[in-house]
Amino acid sequence: MDGAGVVGQARKGVERSPGLTYQEILDMDTRPVPDVLREQVVPDLGTAPVPISRYTDPAFFREEISKIWMRVWQNACREEDIPNPGDFQIYDVVGKSLLIVRQKDGSIKAFANSCLHRGRKLATSGGCKEKFRCMYHGWTWNNDGSFYENPMPWDFPQAPPETLSLPEAKVGTWGGFVFVNFDPDAPSLESVLDPLPRHFERWRLEDCVKTLHVAKVIPANWKAVSEAFMESHHSITTHPQILPYLADENSQYDILSDHITRHISASGVPSPFVDASKITPDDIIEAMFGTSGRTDAGPNAGAMKVPNNTTARAFAADVFRQTLSAEDGHDYSDKSDAEMLDPILYNVFPNMSFWAGFAPNLIYRWRPVGLSHEHTLMEVMRLRRAPKNGPRPPPVPMHFLSDSESWRDAPEMGGLSDIFEQDMANLPYVQEGMNASLSGVLHFGRYSEMRIRQHHVMLERYMSRD
Ligand code: FES
C-alpha cells in the first residue's frame, strides 16, 4: 500500500468525529472482541479534489474496460450455485461473458461464452450440461472446454479440433465465492485478497448459504453506486430512521491493503447527529429491529423492554444471539456484541463488498451494464450460517427487479428494502448532478471518505498502466 499506514492508532492530524470512537465502544463489549476488529490502518490520503469526468466521460469508461475490468479479480458466483459436475453459471461484464462450470474432479473452470465459429453465445442462462452445443450451426464443446464436434469438419481445414478448445479465464475461490480474472498475467487471488482470509477466519463465509439475492439496474456510473456503500454518514439525510441506533459519523475506516478497505459502524448506539439524551434504550431497540433487515424474521421490537442493568447494545446483541441460535442451532453465547450487531463492511477493489460478523451477512456486487458508463447492475445477497443440524438448504436464485419495480417489490428483503430504496433513490440524481456540474470536481472527506479516496488511488494506478 502506498503512503504511511499507521496500525493500531489513528494517525495524528487526521481529524475524527467528536463522538465516541468505535474502539471506545468496543471497550464496553460484553464479550472478548477479536483482534482483527482492534486493527486500525489510517493512512493520510490527502484531500485533493477528484475529476467528475471519471464518472461521466464515456471515453474514460472505455479505457476502464481494458485497464480495470479485464485485469481485476471479480466475484462471479457462489460455489454452492454450481454444486455438481456440469453445473454452470454465466458471468457477464462489460460485454464479455464467461461460463463458470463445475468439473468432474470438483474444480471450477471459466470459459469464454462465445462460439469459435461465428461467435454466438453458447448459453444464455445457467443450468447443467455435459456439452455446450451452439444453437446456430451446431459446433459443440465438452463441459471441460475441449472441442467435441463440428457437423461439417471437411469445410474448416484451418481449424482442426485440437485448436478449438474454449479460451479460459483464471479462476480462484475464497469463502465459498468463485472469482474470475480475464488477465492471464494477473497476480494471484490470494495476494489480492490479503488480509481478508485472515480477518474472516472466525466468520467463515464458506459455511454460509445464500438466502437472498436481489438485483436491479441503477442509472448511474458503477463507481457512484459502489461508493454509496463506502461511508456511513449519508444516513443523516438518506436514512433518518436509523439514526437512533447507528453510530454513523463516528464509524471507523481502514485501508487494510491496496485492494481491501473496511468500515465499521457501531449498532445499538445513537448517531452523534442526534441528541442522545432524548433517546431511551427502548427507542433504540424499537428503531433497530424494525429496520435493520439483517434477520429474515425479526422479533417483535415493540414488545421488548431493555432492563435497567444493561445497555440497548448489549440487550440487542443478546436478542440476536438467541434469535439466530433458535433459527440455525449454532451457539453464539461467546460471540462479541460487535460481531452480532455491527455493520462491518470489507470491500475488495473494484466492485465487491463482504459484511463480516455472525449475523446474516450482506454481500454487494456492482458492475457496469453492458458497455454503458451510466448503468450499473446492483446486486444484494445475504448469507446465513447453514443449519447446524439437518441438510444444507440450496441457495436462492437471483430475483431480478425490472426498471418499473422498486426494492420494495422484493418482499424477501424485509426491512432492508426501505433502506435500499432510499439509497437507490439518490443515485440517478447523483449521476444527473455530476453530468450537470460546472466545477468539474468532487470533494471527499479526509477520514470518513477515505475508502472512496483509496478506490480512486487504485483506479488511478490501474488506469496509468500501459
Ligand atoms: Fe456457433 Fe456457428 S456460430 S456454430
The alpha carbon dihedral of 453, 345, 318, 295 has a sign of positive
The single-letter DSSP state of residue 149 is E
Q: How much is the pLDDT for 187?
A: 97
CA of 152 to the centre of ligand 1 (A): 11
CA angle 160, 161, 165 (to 5 degrees): 120
Q: What is the mean pLDDT of the chain?
A: 93
Binding site membership of 121 for ligand 1 (Cβ less than 6 Å):
no
Binding site membership of 152 for ligand 1 (Cβ less than 6 Å):
no
Q: How much is the pLDDT for 293?
A: 56
Please say if the pLDDT value at position 421 is more than 90: yes
38: closest CA among 338, 243, 335? 338
Mean pLDDT, rounded, for 365-377: 98
261 within 8 A of 456, measured Cβ to Cβ: no
Q: How much is the pLDDT for 116?
A: 98
Q: How much is the pLDDT for 104?
A: 98
CA of 75 to the centre of ligand 1 (A): 29
Q: Using 50, 70 and 90 to split pLDDT, how confident is the model at 290?
A: low
Whole-number CA gyration radius for the chain:
23
Q: Where are the domains of the chain?
A: 22-54+204-463, 74-185
Binding site membership of 117 for ligand 1 (Cβ less than 6 Å):
yes
Helix (H) or strand (E) holding 441: strand 441-442
- For atom 2 of ligand 1, which residue has the closest CA? 137
The ligand 1 atom at the shortest distance from the C-alpha of residue 118 is 3
Pocket test for ligand 1, best of 136, 147, 164, 166 (most atoms within 8 A of CB): 136
Residue type, 15: E
Q: How much is the pLDDT for 240?
A: 87
CA of 79 to the centre of ligand 1 (A): 29
The ligand 1 atom at the shortest distance from the C-alpha of residue 119 is 3
CA of 140 to the centre of ligand 1 (A): 9
Please say if the pLDDT value at position 9 is more than 70: no
Q: How much is the pLDDT for 11?
A: 41
338 within 8 A of 184, measured Cβ to Cβ: no
- How many helices (H) and strands (E) would you count in the chain? 12, 20
Pocket test for ligand 1, best of 118, 131, 149, 150 (most atoms within 8 A of CB): 118
Please say if the pLDDT value at position 101 is more than 70: yes
Euclidean distance between CA atoms 361 and 336, whole angstroms: 16
7 vs 330 pLDDT, higher one: 330
Crossing angle of helices 281-291/312-328, nearest 10°? 40
pLDDT in tens, 235-284: 888 988 888 999 988 999 999 999 999 999 999 999 989 888 899 999 89
Q: Using 50, 70 and 90 to split pLDDT, how confident is the model at 13?
A: low
Euclidean distance between CA atoms 313 and 26, whole angstroms: 11
Q: Using 50, 70 and 90 to split pLDDT, how confident is the model at 70?
A: very high
Q: Using 50, 70 and 90 to split pLDDT, how confident is the model at 18?
A: confident
Euclidean distance between CA atoms 431 and 451, whole angstroms: 20
Q: Which CATH number fits domain 22-54+204-463: 3.40.30.10, 2.130.10.10, 3.30.420.40, 3.90.380.10?
A: 3.90.380.10
Q: Which pTM does this prediction carry?
A: 0.93
pLDDT in tens, 351-364: 999 999 999 999 99
CA of 83 to the centre of ligand 1 (A): 29
Binding site membership of 133 for ligand 1 (Cβ less than 6 Å):
no
In the chain, the percentage of residues whose pLDDT exceeds 70 is: 94
Q: How much is the pLDDT for 294?
A: 52
Q: How much is the pLDDT for 415?
A: 85
244 within 8 A of 284, measured Cβ to Cβ: yes
Euclidean distance between CA atoms 242 and 418, whole angstroms: 11
CA of 116 to the centre of ligand 1 (A): 7
Q: Using 50, 70 and 90 to split pLDDT, how confident is the model at 287?
A: confident
Q: How much is the pLDDT for 126?
A: 97
Burial classification of residue 296, based on how many CB atoms lie within 10 Å of its CB (0-12 exposed, 13-18 middle, 19 or more buried): middle
CA of 92 to the centre of ligand 1 (A): 20
What are the E-state strand segments in 60-206?
A: 74-78, 87-93, 96-102, 108-112, 127-128, 131-133, 140-142, 147-149, 168-174, 177-181
Cell numbers standing for residue 284: 433504540
CA of 84 to the centre of ligand 1 (A): 27
Q: How much is the pLDDT for 17?
A: 84
Q: Using 50, 70 and 90 to split pLDDT, how confident is the model at 379?
A: very high
pLDDT in tens, 108-124: 999 999 999 999 999 99
Please name every residue paired with 385 in a beta bridge, in sequence order, or none if there are none. 208
Binding site membership of 433 for ligand 1 (Cβ less than 6 Å):
no
- Which architecture does CATH list for 74-185? 3-layer Sandwich (2.102)
212: closest CA among 351, 456, 330, 380? 380
Q: How much is the pLDDT for 300?
A: 60
Burial classification of residue 318, based on how many CB atoms lie within 10 Å of its CB (0-12 exposed, 13-18 middle, 19 or more buried): middle
Burial classification of residue 6, based on how many CB atoms lie within 10 Å of its CB (0-12 exposed, 13-18 middle, 19 or more buried): middle
Q: Say how far residue 318 (Cα) sits from the centre of its chain.
A: 27
Please say if the pLDDT value at position 380 is more than 50: yes
Binding site membership of 115 for ligand 1 (Cβ less than 6 Å):
yes
Euclidean distance between CA atoms 192 and 105, whole angstroms: 26
418 within 8 A of 197, measured Cβ to Cβ: no
Pocket test for ligand 1, best of 113, 117, 164 (most atoms within 8 A of CB): 117
- For atom 4 of ligand 1, which residue has the closest CA? 137
pLDDT in tens, 19-66: 889 999 999 999 999 999 999 999 999 999 999 999 999 999 999 999
Q: How much is the pLDDT for 276?
A: 85
